[in-house]
Amino acid sequence: MKFNCKELAEIYFGPAELEGRLHHKRSHKSGFKERWFKLRYNFLFYHNTNEFGQADGIQPSGVIILENCNIKPDVVRESCFAFSIVFNDEPQKCHILSGRSESQIEQWMNAIKQASYGYWRSQLIVLQQILCNKTGKDPLLMYPRNKDLLRVGTEVICSGDVWQQ
């Protein structure tokens, strides 16, 4: 995925869903480094930290795009409160994050899981199915922008094309 600096800056400078200090380690590196993290939409920005534990500088050191990944608790020698971000298409490029408490790690794991487009899409499908079962109508097909769509089972048909759901 490619982004330019202006697009990322616009995303970065908005209010964070969650931000704070965590220790970060990539799977191929040997030690943890303290970083300041900021979660905004499905972007996890991180900064180097200064001697006071705050973000060092205005620009982030890097960004992790939270799509097509799994978040799971992890056990590492250096910390008993840790979790990992593992990408489905590149499992060797794992990020391990650790914090000061179990509640802090749970808060980060929940926020990161809910940040992805895939999570919200799955929630939409579940709610759509519940409403369809209760009303007998697909709620997404009741609005004008969806009027040319026809749902047959799990397939959506539009102008002769078929999309699998």
In tens, the pLDDT along 1-15 reads 566 777 888 888 889
Q: Are residues 21 and 93 in the same domain?
A: yes
- How far is residue 98's CA from residue 3's CA, in Å, rounded to a whole number? 28
- How far is residue 77's CA from residue 165's CA, in Å, rounded to a whole number? 42
In tens, the pLDDT along 43-65 reads 999 998 888 777 777 788 889 99
Q: Bridge partners of 162? A: 157
Contacts of 29 (CB under 8 A, 6+ apart): none
Q: Are residues 104 and 138 in the same domain?
A: no
Confidence of residue 157 (pLDDT cuts 50, 70, 90): very low
CATH of the domain at 39: 2.30.29.30
Q: Bridge partners of 45? A: 38, 63
Q: Are residues 130 and 106 in the same domain?
A: no
Does the residue 94 lie in any domain? yes
What is the pTM assigned to this prediction? 0.75
Does the residue 106 lie in any domain? yes
What is the spatial order of strands in the sheet that 149-152 belongs to?
A: 149-152, 155-158, 161-164
Q: Are residues 105 and 130 in the same domain?
A: no
Q: Are residues 98 and 142 in the same domain?
A: no
Does the residue 163 lie in any domain? no
| Domain coverage including residue 29 | 5-115
